[in-house]
Amino acid sequence: MNENNILTYYILDLDRTTLDTGKSTEVMEGVVALHNSELGVALAQKFAEAESLGESFSMRDFIVDSVGEEEMQKIEVKYKEVAAQQDLLIPGAKELFEYIESLPDTKFGILTYGSVLGQKMKLEASGLGNIPALITSETYKGGLIASWRRDDGLYHLPEELGGFIAKEIIFIDDKPFSFKGLPIDCRGYFVKSVYDAGMEMLPSYVAQPRNLKEVIAAEKQRRA
């Protein structure tokens, strides 16, 4: 097998799937409050509003709009220092990484929607900066994954995800609409967080575990 060919590639979402976005934002709120107490309160309110509406929110862009890029870079340094002292990952995320790494001919990477600088900041702050990651503006990630399937029936992943050629894709996300367009030969796991609109539209090949530990259990059973 060519070194760039693998049997299975796991594509993991970031926010609310592998990263505890609420905790990550709370850390930033504390850091920002030391800089500007009113901005800290505004950040908390904006995040809560976005969560209630099921919308994505870039806390970095929000802060930049208030204090500018130069000040944001100073805040970001402190944020990463504080974040490094905490575990910002969703329970089961580390175990999922370890499980995937234990499998032969298998790789994984992160596919996340949002602001490039904002998502990179969160990846680095949470200790995930060494994992291949693609930051996209495409909300229907299933369709994006489908675009990587070539005439040979294999998935040719972009360089950001390692440039591998995979026979099988396993996709894990917390938003039902992310699975729109996901090819039938893929396996999906919808791990519900704050999003549930559109659950009834999930195709049969997208399972609905309650957490990442159930994802691991399902994959072990599937492979048995």
- What local confidence, expressed as pLDDT, does residue 147 receive? 98
In the predicted model, is pLDDT for residue 3 greater than 70? Answer: no
Domain count, the chain: 2
In the predicted model, is pLDDT for residue 2 greater than 70? Answer: no
3-class DSSP state for residue 12?
Answer: strand
User: pLDDT per residue over 195-224, tens digit each?
Assistant: 777 777 898 999 999 999 999 999 999 988
Asked if 147 and 204 sit in the same domain, the reply is yes
Mean pLDDT lowest for which of 56-60, 97-101, 164-168? 56-60
- Extract the tokens encoding 170: 């396993």
In the predicted model, is pLDDT for residue 156 greater than 70? Answer: yes
Asked if 79 and 182 sit in the same domain, the reply is no
- What local confidence, expressed as pLDDT, does residue 51 receive? 84
Task: Single out the residue in 36, 58, 83 at which a domain terminates.
Answer: 83
Asked if 160 and 133 sit in the same domain, the reply is yes
H or E segment to which residue 172 belongs: strand 165-173
Asked if 104 and 28 sit in the same domain, the reply is no
In the predicted model, is pLDDT for residue 68 greater than 80? Answer: yes
Asked if 107 and 169 sit in the same domain, the reply is yes
- What local confidence, expressed as pLDDT, does residue 1 receive? 47
| Residues whose CB falls within 8 Å of the CB of residue 172, separated by 6 or more in sequence, listed in order | 10, 11, 12, 13, 17, 188, 189, 191, 212, 215
Asked if 48 and 60 sit in the same domain, the reply is yes
Asked if 125 and 219 sit in the same domain, the reply is yes
Asked if 178 and 101 sit in the same domain, the reply is yes
CB 6 within 8 A of CB 106: yes
Domain hosting 51: range is: 21-83
Asked if 105 and 181 sit in the same domain, the reply is yes
In the predicted model, is pLDDT for residue 162 greater than 60? Answer: yes
Distance in angstroms (rounded) separating the CA atoms of residues 84 and 12: 21
Task: Single out the residue in 34, 61, 83 at which a domain terminates.
Answer: 83
Cα–chain center distance at 192: 13
Asked if 68 and 116 sit in the same domain, the reply is no
User: pLDDT per residue over 105-151, tens digit each?
Assistant: 999 999 999 999 999 999 999 999 999 999 999 999 999 999 999 99
